[in-house]
Amino acid sequence: MISPATNESILEAARLLKSGGLVAFPTETVYGLGANALDARAVSQIFRTKDRPAFDPLIVHIPDFESLTIVSSDVSERVQRLTQAFWPGPLTIILPKAVCIPDLVTSGLPDVAVRMPAHPVALELIRSAGLPIAAPSANKFGKLSPTTAKHVQKQLPDLPLILDGGPCEVGLESTVVRIEKDGFRILRHGAITREMLLNHLEESKAYQTVDPLPAASPGLMKSHYSPEKRLYIVGDHALPEDKTQAAYIGFGSLEGQSGYKLYRQLSPSGDLAEAAVNLFQVLHELEEAELEYIVAEPVPETGLGLAVMDRLRKAAFRFHSQAENSSHLSDSSLK
């Protein structure tokens, strides 16, 4: 059930979390499906509700800097520098896990993913619950991430409580980063870009980005965030001839486009942050429209554009042959 986020509904949600239940709640990135991160039984409900495979670990959400030492056994000075710069905000950091974090949360990995979200409802909820909260995006596994309470309800209609805090400001999941001795690896692109991270770690000259290994995070899976309709990306895939039952998602000017049934814009002015906010919203809308397929124009692969193209390519992946996919995916998914 959707409830507007008020003091009362947030307290009710906190009670549910404390008693081992699940609550969907807004964050600045996407809506999350939360459970007590210290309670393996509660966390197992997340996997069941999402149909999420147990090998895909969860992000633990904390309300303040002090809580970091509860969930992680080793917080280095470099990590502290990043948290001071980007928390609360869309940055998830992979850290050695504390013993109190059940193996189910980390899928048996020795590390835990941690973030402090920048949404007043999320922070108040986590604070009221008095617990670290494990929360993946509140969607069925592999499907589109939710950026509104209605998106959550569409995929997870049986949830007892979906706190409605309005549409998400960022619209794409957090950047996931692992700090290593010789550099950092971006395991998932997001609103905190490689350049932003480099700026805050630059005093150490040896400290450079390292390309991630595909096995470094289950989040590097090639197919994810997928809509129910066939999706093509201009330049990546051969487009069907007949456009009359298709939608076109543009970025910047739509000049020169014609013949499609529907047009949507990620950003008329070509703004990447606006495109990030609109991407999942537009895909949710179009997957429900009377259409045969969707065509999306690529956005420039710089800054936040890397995150937008990562989500688009993962969304399109399952609709295309290995040969078509491999011509471009190896670059973008490993950057």
- Positions touching Mg ion (CB under 5 A) are 137
For ligand TXA, the closer CB: 219 or 298: 219
Q: For residue 189, report the phi and psi dihedrals to the nearest 5 degrees.
A: -75, 150
Q: How far is the CB of 61 from ligand TXA (least distance, A)?
A: 6
For ligand TXA, the closer CB: 92 or 267: 92
Q: How far is the CB of 145 from Mg ion (least distance, A)?
A: 5
Please tell me whether residue 218 binds ligand TXA under the rule CB under 6 A: yes
Rounded to whole angstroms, the Cα distance separating 251 from 28 reads 23
Strand partners, 185: 178
Q: How far is the CB of 263 from Mg ion (least distance, A)?
A: 28
User: Which residues ranging from 50 to 79 are in contact with ligand TXA (CB under 6 A)?
Assistant: 56-59
Q: How far is the CB of 317 from ligand TXA (least distance, A)?
A: 15
Please tell me whether residue 137 binds ligand TXA under the rule CB under 6 A: yes
Q: For residue 201, report the phi and psi dihedrals to the nearest 5 degrees.
A: -120, 15
Please tell me whether residue 32 binds ligand TXA under the rule CB under 6 A: yes
* Measured distance between the N- and C-terminal CA atoms of the chain, rounded to whole angstroms: 39
Please tell me whether residue 88 binds ligand TXA under the rule CB under 6 A: no
Q: How far is the CB of 173 from Mg ion (least distance, A)?
A: 6
State which residue has the least CB distance to ligand TXA. Answer: 219
For ligand TXA, the closer CB: 52 or 237: 52
Q: Which residues contact 93 (CB under 8 A, 6 or more apart)?
A: 79, 82, 83, 113, 114, 115, 177, 178, 179
Cα 20 to the center of its chain, rounded Å: 24
For ligand TXA, the closer CB: 174 or 193: 174
- 115: which 2 tokens? 């973030």
What is the DSSP code string of 61-118?
E-SSGGGHHHHBS---HHHHHHHHHH-SSSEEEEEEBPTTS-HHHHTT-SEEEEE---
Q: Which residues contact 106 (CB under 8 A, 6 or more apart)?
A: 57, 58, 97, 112, 113
Q: Helices 304-317 and 322-334 meet at what angle, rounded to 10?
A: 150
Rounded to whole angstroms, the Cα distance separating 42 from 102 reads 11
User: Which residues ranging from 147 to 166 are in contact with ligand TXA (CB under 6 A)?
Assistant: none
How many residues bind to ligand TXA according to rule CB under 6 A? 29
Rounded to whole angstroms, the Cα distance separating 148 from 31 reads 7
Return the residue of 9, 27, 72, 148 that touches ligand TXA, per CB under 6 A: 27
Please tell me whether residue 94 binds ligand TXA under the rule CB under 6 A: yes
Closest CA to 233 of 315, 305, 335: 315
Return the residue of 176, 192, 266, 309 that touches ligand TXA, per CB under 6 A: 176
- 306: which 2 tokens? 């890397």
Please tell me whether residue 296 binds ligand TXA under the rule CB under 6 A: no
Cα 46 to the center of its chain, rounded Å: 16
Q: How far is the CB of 223 from Mg ion (least distance, A)?
A: 12
For ligand TXA, the closer CB: 52 or 264: 52
Please tell me whether residue 277 binds ligand TXA under the rule CB under 6 A: no
Cα 128 to the center of its chain, rounded Å: 24
Return the residue of 169, 173, 236, 287 that touches ligand TXA, per CB under 6 A: 173
For ligand TXA, the closer CB: 59 or 296: 59
Which of Mg ion, ligand TXA, none lies near 175, with the C-beta cut-off 5 to 8 A by kind? Answer: none
What is the DSSP code string of 119-150?
-HHHHHHHHHHTS-EE--BSS-TTBPPPSSHH
Q: Please report, as ranges, the residues that interact with ligand TXA according to CB under 6 A.
A: 27, 29-30, 32, 56-59, 90, 92, 94, 106, 109, 111-113, 115, 117, 135-137, 173-174, 176, 187-188, 217-219
